[in-house]
Amino acid sequence: MDLTVTIAGVKFPACFMNASGAVCVTHEELSALGRSRSGAIVTKSMTVEARQGNPLPRYYGFSGGSINSMGLPNLGYRMYAELIPQLKQFGKPVIASVAGLCEDDFPAIARAINEAGPDLIEVNLSCPNIPGKPQIGYDAEASERLMKRVRPLITVPMGVKLPPYFDPAHHQLMGEAIGHCGVDFLNLINSVGNALVVDPNEEAVVIKPKGGFGGLGGAIIKPIALANVRAFYKHFKGTMPIIGTGGVVSGLDAFEHLLCGASAVQVGTALVEEGVEVFARLEKELAACLERKGYKSAEECRGRLKEL
């Protein structure tokens, strides 16, 4: 079964890859992704300076999903700029994920990381876990301003990673902003921010930062992820490549993302829980599912969701 995909002109050997944030901070973790069957190596979202992130515990897995408030622990963009040429030797696309603690950080990082030669750059407009910093992706004007600042600095395909939206008016507003900025691909969605998981036995929250508030991931968010993939797929009439992220635990979950319009999928919670072996399992499951349904490739079923 052909599970290769092309996004913004870049060929991926498989349509599964890690979500930024899931075991992709250190050189060792990124190299393990390089050796695995992940179709790409996606770095942790990088900031100007290295960060330890939020206090522990900051990740909690439960049946059906996970909650995290990592707080962008990362090595700082200078270190990722050094690592990128080594990571490219694994022979699969390297996606550099760029974040920032204020708007001015993004262009500074984008310029430098672009020079390091990643295959694509993903601009993260949606980290929900920095205390006191709202998600830029919920402000269409600020997002447009930022995308317009970084776009001219980037010579490889540039994508944006967005938070989940819950109203068609917001899909429309962000879709229009994105349409003005020369964006080459979308990544939908980041975790569902500022959720709260309660342990009734302990009568307590399960993570320490922000009073227990954090981003929800895993199976529980799949319908929200699918809705966002579908809404933006339709907004751009199928012309905007989309990486679907959220709730991919099985090959069937990936198939649903593809049907909604995703070209590829990223794996977060399942990767954290299962390790890099998850990619081989997902490939096998998706291939069997596509075969059963008579498709010849992952590309072939993209966007083919039937409406009633």
**3-class state of residue 161 by DSSP:** strand
Binding mask 82-121 for ligand SIN (x = CB under 6 A): ----------------------------------------
Sheet harboring 213-217: ordered strands across? 59-62, 65-68, 213-217, 192-196
- Considering the complex, state which of residue 74 and residue 114 has its C-beta at the smaller distance from ligand SIN: 74
269, 218 contact by CB (below 8 A): yes
CA distance 233 to 28: 35
Does 212 sit near ligand SIN (CB under 6 A)?
A: no
Query: Nearest approach, Cβ of 97 to ligand SIN (angstroms)?
Result: 8
Does 129 sit near ligand SIN (CB under 6 A)?
A: yes
Is 24 a residue of the active site? no
Piece of the chain touching ligand SIN by CB under 6 A; list 124-132, 148-156, 251-259, 281-289: 124-132
CA distance 22 to 194: 18
- Judged by CB under 6 A, the residue of 5, 33, 70, 264 near ligand SIN is 70
Instruction: Give Cα separations from 127 to 71, 87, 156, 267, 288 (angstroms).
Output: 8, 24, 23, 16, 35
| Catalytic one of 15, 127, 260, 289 | 127
Would you tell me how many other CB atoms lie within 10 Å of the CB of residue 291?
11
Does 71 sit near ligand SIN (CB under 6 A)?
A: yes
- Judged by CB under 6 A, the residue of 38, 114, 191, 245 near ligand SIN is 191
Which residues make up the interface to ligand SIN (CB under 6 A)? 21, 45, 69-72, 124, 126-129, 190-191, 215
